[in-house]
Structure 1
Amino acid sequence: MALIALALSQTQQSSSLVMRKHLKEAELTPVLRLGAGACAGIIAMSATYPMDMVRGRLTVQTEKSPRQYRGIFHALTTVLREEGPRSLYKGWLPSVIGVIPYVGLNFAVYESLKDWLIKSKALGLVDDNNELGVATRLACGAAAGTVGQTVAYPLDVIRRRMQMAGWKDAASVVTGDGKTKATLEYNGMVDAFRKTVRHEGFGALYKGLVPNSVKVVPSIAIAFVTYEMVKDILGVEMRISD
């Protein structure tokens, strides 16, 4: 999922570093990197999930929508009053499952690609200090963000749809026509997948992938590079891959 793609990525990287301190005696293979990044992402995502759910509803309402949330606090209190506390975590399961390929692959692909370029000295991209330039690291981050985003995107689509489920004005808000229509209902993640594919086709799972990638992929790349540059400025020796 750039909300807060840059800030969330920084949180995930910091959490991942803490985990890696406990693994410093072991070699960080791509599998270990995947696990560390995924665990960090799940913690960060779970802590901020209610705000993401509210953001989704605020985003889709229009001037013609029957329901008009006046802001974050009004949306939170309205959802709690009308749908209960559990509604703030609708779509949490596909989000957790999606974190594993999304955040995990971001870390694994970025670190593995960067290490491969340094060790192989491919394409002459390694400088005299055996380091990669900013442009090359940005490219590694963009490649990592592209892979993670593409693999995890169907789960993000399902998460958004589940966040709308149970909202009595959801259908009208989604279409923006102000007409009364059947309320969107899903009996869990699997049911949401099944109904989406059956009624709209497999391609529906990738609706909005391109504009979302334009937002997310650069933010992931910039987050990785900024993180390492700040560490260099502060004189911190530990790398993300250490």
Structure 2
Amino acid sequence: MSLEMKTEYKLEDICKNLLCGGLAGMLSKTTVAPLDRVKILLQAHSKHHRSHGVVKGLGHIITKEGPLALYKGNGAQMVRIFPYAAIQFTSFEMYKRYLDGVFGPTSHIDKFLAGAGAGLTSVAMTYPLDTIRARLAFQISGEHVYKGIVDAAVTIFRDEGGVRALYRGFAPTLTGMVPYAGLSFFCFEYLKFGCTKYLPSWTCNPCEQNTGGLVLSVPAKLACGGLAGAAAQSVSYPLDVTRRRMQLAMMNPDTRHYADGMFSTLRKIYAEHGIVRGLYRGMSINYMRAIPMVAVSFSAYELCKQLLHLDTGIKVSVG
């Protein structure tokens, strides 16, 4: 493929990709928002949830704070997730086009690198909003520290060290984003390719925009996305825990020692709580949220692309 073909990407297509990615991100995050909040409370060892599991944690929130509390922090999440997902999916499409064929016609390494690059690009541009959202979700009714998104941003910036405070936990996030985003996109693209090549009659429909091309059916999209999410989360989860502990460290005097740095925080979590109850604390709920979240995200994005005539289908040679 020539360089001109690789880099040709119309402004209209970029805008459509941004819209599809943003909408897919908002839909997927809203779907799992209650589980997201419980995960944050468990990861950071909230004093109100130290003895709780997933079901007890959800029940405790509903009983003590009301059903709407399950979505606490979701407003900030929507503010963050639209640009995050829009940038991530669009960056992936651009990086994928540029890397297409670089490692050979049958290699999928380019998908991993494109996914990792997309993840790094999106998280670097939206990370402060993730810190704010985590702080809001960690609050318990009656013990509020922040009044809302703007108040949280101003307070963190003013009292905790400026821009650096808004990027606390950024190092483990970047480190974890490479395997997480890389594996998510790699697994989804690889599974999508495998379905169209080996199981087309079970998993695919003809593509309306491209005679001879195939697109995954909705159930196949969900299955591929769910498997991709499970694989990616299994590898990157300890760094996600580290990121949360660093983001929330300054909210409690007893946890401020977690704000010293990525490797220091990793060591302290392991020393104090071990692997299962520390580095992988909340992993069960993370599977419960990550699998449907990634499944919905990829499926919604693919469907939106088809509706906007961006998806040209996959042509594969059988045999």
Q: Is the pair's TM-score, using the shorter chain for normalization, greater than 0.5?
A: yes
Aligned to 1:90: 168
Native 8 Å contact 2:169 2:244 kept in 1? yes
Aligned pairs for 1:192-203 within 5 A: 192-203=265-276
User: If the length of structure 1 is used for normalisation, what is the TM-score?
Assistant: 0.83
Aligned pairs for 1:138-217 within 5 A: 138-165=222-249, 167=250, 169-171=251-253, 181=254, 183-203=256-276, 204-217=278-291
Cα distance in 1 for partners of 2:258, 2:81 equals 33
Cα distance in 2 for partners of 1:15, 1:120 equals 29
Whether 2:89 is the aligned partner of 1:13: answer: yes
Cα distance in 1 for partners of 2:95, 2:248 equals 35
Whether 2:311 is the aligned partner of 1:227: answer: no
Q: 1:59 to 1:240 in 2, by over 3 A?
A: farther
Native 8 Å contact 2:225 2:298 kept in 1? yes
Cα distance in 2 for partners of 1:49, 1:16 equals 18
Cα distance in 1 for partners of 2:270, 2:291 equals 26
Cα distance in 2 for partners of 1:214, 1:146 equals 9
Aligned to 2:7: none
- CA deviations on 1:11-46 (whole Å, 9 max, x unpaired) are 311111112232345447322111111111111111
User: Number of paired residues?
Assistant: 229
Aligned pairs for 1:22-101 within 5 A: 22-26=98-102, 27=105, 29-63=107-141, 65=143, 68-84=145-161, 85-101=163-179
Q: 1:28 to 1:10 in 2, by over 3 A?
A: farther
Native 8 Å contact 1:53 1:163 kept in 2? yes
Comparing 74-83 and 232-241, the one that deviates more: 232-241
Q: What letter matches 2:227 in structure 1?
A: A
Q: Alpha carbon RMSD of aligned pairs, Å? A: 2.8
Q: 1:111 to 1:183 in 2, by over 3 A?
A: closer
Q: What letter matches 2:293 in structure 1?
A: S
Cα distance in 1 for partners of 2:174, 2:314 equals 23
Q: 1:185 to 1:9 in 2, by over 3 A?
A: closer
Cα distance in 2 for partners of 1:108, 1:14 equals 15
Aligned to 2:181: 103
Fraction of identical pairs, as percent: 34
Aligned to 1:119: 197
Q: What letter matches 2:113 in structure 1?
A: G
Instruction: Kindly state the Cα deviation for residue 119 of structure 1 after the two structures are TM-superposed.
Output: 1.7
Which structure is higher in RCO with an 8 Å CA cutoff and minimum separation 6? 1
Cα distance in 2 for partners of 1:202, 1:47 equals 31
Instruction: Kindly state the Cα deviation for residue 115 of structure 1 after the two structures are TM-superposed.
Output: 1.1
- CA deviations on 1:39-78 (whole Å, 9 max, x unpaired) are 111111111111111121222222464x621111111111
Cα distance in 2 for partners of 1:240, 1:106 equals 19
Q: 1:155 to 1:241 in 2, by over 3 A?
A: farther
Secondary structure of 2:219 counterpart: helix
Q: 1:190 to 1:19 in 2, by over 3 A?
A: same
Native 8 Å contact 2:226 2:291 kept in 1? yes
Unpaired runs of at least 5, structure 1: 172-180
Cα distance in 1 for partners of 2:301, 2:258 equals 41
